[in-house]
Structure 1
Amino acid sequence: MELKATRYEVKDGIAVVTLARPKRRNAWTGRMHTEYRWILDQADHDPAVRVIVVTGDPEGQAFCAGADLGALEGHSEKGRYDPGTAEDIAMPGYGVDPAFDATFAYHFGIAKPVIAAINGAAAGVGLVLAAFADLRFAVRGAKFTAAHGRFNFPAEFGLSWILPRIVGLTHANDILLSSRVFTAEEAMAMGFLNRLLPADELMDAVMAYARNLADGVSPGSARETKRQIYRDLHRDAASAVMEAESLLESMIKQPDYKEGVKAWTEKRKANWTG
């Protein structure tokens, strides 16, 4: 696929996806969503990729400023919502669990950890994208907003499900009912962010963290642990324990278990097979 609204590169096991519409503050369009899903599908099926990082083009001075104004105007003119995507759009993460088979929820079905490197404003769908990432690093002073209230929209793309699970009901109600702008510092205090950093340190910190994941965690463990986390959000504790026991019995028979033990005892980097 020709990439016009995004960039994609893979280096040393880390895939970096850049939302790249800097003149529009990396605003989201159907084209960007199409490319983004295609990239995720490529990364998910690439055995060389261990971790996925998503960020915004720094020249856009935003992570993603939400839906493009042209798209918003288009919805108004048509009198209906138009996602701007074709029926043959890529389906990354689909087929793992029916609970993950929906827009943005597909992140939960992707086998690799996804880190959002939030290098500026994250509004509307930009906040959604950050929320559905597995980990969130942000620059100090970045601004966030759900934004939907000012357009007579509902809470978008499952924010009403994911935010209470990240920040708790009290903070989620504040974010979603008011559609107010809140800062990265507030987001950190709420528990939305894993780390808050100066702008000139963000990508170095994200890439170092991604490198530790890629080198120190077997691909099989990362995949199954991620699926456990999101499946267990909506099932009982006993089912989670039994699933964990079943996975342990099967995964201990895999080559990466022996390799992990050997690498640990020999104090060297493991050579994972995935």
Structure 2
Amino acid sequence: MELKVTRYSVDESGVATVWLDRPERRNSWTGRMHDEYRWIMKQLDDDPRVRVIVLTGSGESFCVGADSKALQSYVGADRYDPALSEDAERPGYGVRPEFDADMAWQFGMRPPIIAAVNGACAGIAVALVSFCDIRFAVEGAKVTTAAPKLGLPAEYGLSWIIPRLVGVTHAADILLSGRVLLAEELKSMGFFNNVFPKDEFEERVYEYAHMLAGLSPASTSTTKRQLYEDLIRTNVGESIEHSKKLIEKLMQGPDYKEGVTAFLEKREPRFVR
């Protein structure tokens, strides 16, 4: 695919970076960007070299939500069209039926996804970030769902994911008011894992990403799968029994052998891709 509004790279440690790349439009979301984002994520999910994905925006914004021209085009329309092409890629699909939906497919992806919110984040971008695994933001970043001011509902499953991240009380505030929140307030609610000063932001994000990349790929992908499957599991006993089966499976793999050997030799493990 020819990439016009996104770009990506993978470093030698297996850390991939994906940029929403329309800085002249503050990385506003379009159907083209939706297609390209899915295509990139499918390439990264299928690439065994990739251990961690960092998602960020080009320039000073993360993503200010749907492009204003797209919003205008829906006035008076009789249905919502997400503008995906018929042959759009399906990264993360097939793990669970519940995850075969927009944004939720990020749960089904193998590598952990870190949202690096480097500036304004609004509308659909809030959903994009919410369905990532780890969330960091730059100090002073402004975040809003914007939906109430546009006469819209909580979009793309925000009414499901936000209460699970910050609790019902904070979720009601975020979703009902649509007010602009600073990254620092969202961190206090538990939405962001951390907020960093602008001059440290990139360094701190990649420090964490490379830490994750140095861990057992089998462990991180399996644990990620457990985390989201157990969000919708209602029986704790099933979770426990499933984890015991996974323990048996991973104990037979090379990562467990290397982890134990490194522990006994008092050194850092060297996990092979």
TM-score of the alignment, normalized to the shorter chain, above 0.5 = yes
Q: Which amino acid aligns with 2:55?
A: V
SS of residue paired to 1:2: coil
Give the structure-1-normalised TM-score: 0.96
1:116 aligns with 2:121: no
1:9 CA displacement:
0.3
Q: 2:224 maps to which residue?
A: 226
For residues 116 and 267 of structure 2, the distance between their equivalents in structure 1, rounded to whole angstroms, comes to: 29
1:21 aligns with 2:22: yes
1:98 CA displacement:
1.2
Q: Which amino acid aligns with 2:65?
A: G
TM-superposition CA deviations, 1:118-172 (whole Å, max 9, x none)? 0001100111111111001101111111111122211000000000000000000
- Percent of aligned pairs with the same amino acid: 54
SS of residue paired to 1:64: coil
Q: 2:155 maps to which residue?
A: 156
TM-superposition CA deviations, 1:210-249 (whole Å, max 9, x none)? 101111x211111110010001111121111111111001
For residues 3 and 264 of structure 1, the distance between their equivalents in structure 2, rounded to whole angstroms, comes to: 44
For residues 270 and 231 of structure 2, the distance between their equivalents in structure 1, rounded to whole angstroms, comes to: 32
1:187 aligns with 2:182: no
SS of residue paired to 2:143: strand
Alignment of 1:1-274 (within 5 A): 1-11=1-11, 12-58=13-59, 61-76=60-75, 78-215=77-214, 217-235=215-233, 236-274=235-273
Q: Which amino acid aligns with 1:57?
A: S
Q: Which amino acid aligns with 1:2?
A: E
How many residues in Structure 1 have an aligned counterpart in Structure 2? 271
For residues 250 and 74 of structure 2, the distance between their equivalents in structure 1, rounded to whole angstroms, comes to: 48
For residues 31 and 268 of structure 2, the distance between their equivalents in structure 1, rounded to whole angstroms, comes to: 41
SS of residue paired to 2:56: strand
Q: Which amino acid aligns with 1:218?
A: S
SS of residue paired to 1:199: coil
TM-superposition CA deviations, 1:34-81 (whole Å, max 9, x none)? 1111111111111111000000002xx211100000111111264432
Give the structure-2-normalised TM-score: 0.96
TM-superposition CA deviations, 1:236-265 (whole Å, max 9, x none)? 211111111110011101111101111233
Q: Which amino acid aligns with 2:131?
A: F
Tell me the C-alpha RMSD between the 2 structures: 1.2
Q: Which amino acid aligns with 1:224?
A: T
Q: Which amino acid aligns with 1:134?
A: D
For residues 124 and 195 of structure 2, the distance between their equivalents in structure 1, rounded to whole angstroms, comes to: 21
Q: Which amino acid aligns with 1:23?
A: E
For residues 270 and 156 of structure 1, the distance between their equivalents in structure 2, rounded to whole angstroms, comes to: 42
> Which runs of structure 1 show a deviation greater than 4 angstroms over 4 or more consecutive aligned residues?
none
Q: Which amino acid aligns with 2:232?
A: H
Which consecutive residues of structure 2, in runs of 5 or more, have no partner in the other structure? none
For residues 105 and 209 of structure 1, the distance between their equivalents in structure 2, rounded to whole angstroms, comes to: 23
